[in-house]
Every structure is written in structure tokens, then in C-alpha cells.
């Protein structure tokens, strides 16, 4: 069956007594060109392992399965899983797991499904938890090589922002520890069934974590720095630096009156080293 045809999607769901669930962010992609463009954008090779987030009816799953060695796809909605016998029929390199992506231990999943080998993440993400999903993947400690994901256009703008841009915030700074997210292309709301209220964009990032600073230390500094966006870096760092905020900023040559949104990932690293490694 054609899982990118709105008519076929409606019939399939209706036959099973289902309808798209807003609470799970179910907007199914119904433009085959866009599906193929996302899968191409993921830049997969035949030996690659892929973790897909949010199987839905399997539109993207099928395209990923044609390009990779194995695709493990996670779907929270048990109702949809019952339809995969029809929509993913005959795809021997696809395994669908039921559950909430945020509850999966991705290191354990990688061991069990990919023999511990590095893998790619791909997905048309549910918008109600996009940031949580991205941070869950990035902070999982699993050997993730890249992330290619459909997100709300404004989230893509935030992720592609750089220090000094209005959209630069804690999410961007946290992601920049692992790599530089780029926007590949935008997608109109009309390419979905049902159409969401916003347009979307595909972001991609290759993961090359910064070495020399543990992820936890970097994240603690970013969270503290952005805790009150209008406050100076000095005031925001005070609770974490415990009386050493001034000397730490001096040693890192950072103006204590600067705001977090003006600082680069390298500067957050310097602060983390100074606080946690006394360098």
C-alpha cells in the first residue's frame, strides 16, 4: 500500500478504528519526494545501522530500510504497531519496538540491536518533545554517528543559531558540544496528514563530541549560564562556582557582564575546566 497517500492513510486508520493522535504529535508525512529527500539527507551506506524515532505508519522507515543494513524503529502508539504488518510487510531488516523513546537506554539498545556498533538516528520527530528527544539522544552516551531529524522550523532556526544570534539558547549551546546542527531544507505543513499548525525543517548533525571536558560538566555550565537569560554570566554562575565565579571568569578572560547568549562553546568549555578541573 501507499503510506504517503492521505486517502490511503485515512482508509487504513478508519478500518482499524484509529485516527491521528494529537497527544503523540501524529502528523504523517504524505509526500513521497520529501520522504526520499530526508532519507537521502541522512547519507546512509548499505552497512549502516539506523535508529528511527516515531515509526508512524512507516513512510520514512521504508525509505531508510532501502538504504541501510538494519533499521530499528521506536513507536509509542500500540494502535499503529498493529498496522505495520501491512505497511512494513516484507521488510526483513526492520525491527519495530514499542515504547517511549525517552525511556529507552540507548546504550543497551545499541548493544542488543546493533552489536554495540555506531549507528545513525533519523526521524520525523513528534513536536511536543523535540528538545527532550534530542538531548536524550545526545546525552545517552551511545555511539551515535549522526542525527537527521524533522523538527519545527523555529526549532531548526534555534539549532542553527550561533553565539550572538537571538535564537541562540541552552538547547543550541548543549548541541554544539556534540557537533554543528545544520538545516538541510524546509518542509511545508501541507506535506503532512493532518497538516500541523507550523512549517518544518530537516536538521542534520554529525557527532564529534568535544574532548577534554566531560559532557556532564559542559552541560552543567550551559544550564547554569542560561538559567536566567537576562542575568549576567557572573550572576548565573554564582551558585555553580561557589564563590569563585569572579576569578573563574577572569582566568577565562570572559567579561562578567556578558550574557550567556554571547558565549561560544569553547568559552563554556573553559569555564567547565576552570570550575571542575581547577585549570
Please identify which residue in 50, 76, 134, 201 interacts with ligand SAM, judged by CB under 6 A.
76
Q: Are strands 182-187 and 200-206 parallel, antiparallel or unpaired?
A: antiparallel
If the CB atoms of residues 4 and 174 are measured against ligand SAM, the closer one turns out to be: 4
- For the chain, the distance separating the N- and C-terminal CA atoms, rounded to the nearest angstrom, is 61
Please identify which residue in 42, 88, 101, 222 interacts with ligand SAM, judged by CB under 6 A.
101
Q: Is 235 labeled as ligand-binding?
A: no
Q: Is 18 labeled as ligand-binding?
A: no
- Pick from 94, 89, 36: nearest CA to 70: 94
State yes or no: residue 74 binds ligand SAM (CB under 6 A).
yes
Report the DSSP beta bridge partners of residue 185.
202
Q: Is 2 labeled as ligand-binding?
A: no
21-60: which residues touch ligand SAM (CB under 6 A)?
Answer: 24-29, 53-56, 59-60
If the CB atoms of residues 120 and 273 are measured against ligand SAM, the closer one turns out to be: 120
State yes or no: residue 275 binds ligand SAM (CB under 6 A).
no
User: What are the helix (H) ranges across 129-211?
Assistant: 130-138, 153-160, 170-176
CA distance 145 to 127: 23
Phi, psi of 10 (to 5 degrees): -60, -45
**Omega cis (within 30) before 54:** no
If the CB atoms of residues 6 and 118 are measured against ligand SAM, the closer one turns out to be: 6
DSSP 127: G
Please identify which residue in 11, 14, 102, 279 interacts with ligand SAM, judged by CB under 6 A.
102
User: How far is CA 232 from each of CA 84, 108, 197, 244, rounded to the nearest angstrom?
Assistant: 52, 40, 35, 15
Q: Is 54 labeled as ligand-binding?
A: yes
State yes or no: residue 75 binds ligand SAM (CB under 6 A).
yes
User: What are the helix (H) ranges across 194-244?
Assistant: 215-225, 233-241
Please identify which residue in 65, 124, 172, 267 interacts with ligand SAM, judged by CB under 6 A.
124
If the CB atoms of residues 55 and 219 are measured against ligand SAM, the closer one turns out to be: 55
Segment lying near ligand SAM (by CB under 6 A), choices 122-130, 158-166, 231-239, 251-259: 122-130
Q: How many residues does the chain have?
A: 279
Query: Which stretches of the chain are assigned E, i.e. beta strand?
Result: 28-29, 49-53, 70-75, 94-98, 119-124, 144-152, 182-187, 192-193, 200-206
Please identify which residue in 41, 126, 179, 265 interacts with ligand SAM, judged by CB under 6 A.
126
Q: Closest separation between CB of residue 137 and ligand SAM, Å?
A: 12
Q: Residues annotated in the binding site, as ranges?
A: 27, 29, 54, 75, 100, 124
Positions that interact with ligand SAM (CB under 6 A): 24-29, 53-56, 59-60, 74-77, 80, 100-102, 124, 126, 129
Amino acid at each position: 500500500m501507499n503510506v504517503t497517500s492521505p486517502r490511503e492513510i485515512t482508509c487504513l486508520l478508519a478500518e482499524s478504528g484509529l485516527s491521528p493522535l494529537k497527544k503523540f504529535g501524529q502528523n504523517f508525512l504524505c509526500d513521497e519526494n520529501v520522504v526520499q529527500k530526508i532519507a537521502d539527507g541522512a547519507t546512509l551506506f548499505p552497512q549502516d545501522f539506523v535508529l528511527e524515532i516515531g515509526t508512524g505508519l512507516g513512510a520514512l522507515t521504508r525509505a531508510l530500510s532501502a538504504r541501510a543494513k538494519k533499521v530499528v524503529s521506536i513507536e509509542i502508539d500500540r494502535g499503529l504497531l498493529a498496522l505495520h504488518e501491512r505497511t512494513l510487510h516484507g521488510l526483513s531488516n526492520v525491527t519495530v519496538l514499542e515504547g517511549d523513546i525517552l525511556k529507552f537506554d540507548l546504550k543497551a539498545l545499541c548493544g542488543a540491536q546493533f552489536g554495540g556498533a555506531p549507528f545513525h538516528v533519523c526521524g520525523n520527530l513528534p513536536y511536543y518533545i523535540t528538545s527532550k528527544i534530542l538531548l536524550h539522544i545526545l546525552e545517552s552516551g551511545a555511539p551515535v554517528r549522526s542525527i537527521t531529524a524533522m523538527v519545527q522550523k523555529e526549532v531548526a532556526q534555534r539549532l542553527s543559531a550561533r553565539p550572538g544570534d537571538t535564537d541562540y539558547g541552552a538547547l543550541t549551546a548543549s548541541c554544539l558540544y556534540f557537533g554543528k546542527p545544520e538545516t538541510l531544507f524546509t518542509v511545508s505543513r501541507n506535506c503532512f496528514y493532518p497538516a500541523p499548525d507550523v512549517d518544518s525543517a530537516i536538521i542534520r548533525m554529525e557527532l564529534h563530541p568535544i574532548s577534554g571536558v566531560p559532557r556532564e560538566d559542559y552541560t552543567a555550565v550551559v544550564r547554569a549560564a542560561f538559567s536566567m537569560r537576562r542575568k549576567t554570566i557572573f550572576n548565573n554562575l554564582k551558585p555553580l562556582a561557589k564563590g569563585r565565579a569572579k576569578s573563574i571568569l577572569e582566568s577565562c578572560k570572559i567579561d562578567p557582564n556578558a550574557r550567556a547568549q554571547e558565549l561560544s562553546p569553547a568559552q563554556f568549555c573553559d569555564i567547565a575546566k576552570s570550575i571542575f578541573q581547577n585549570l
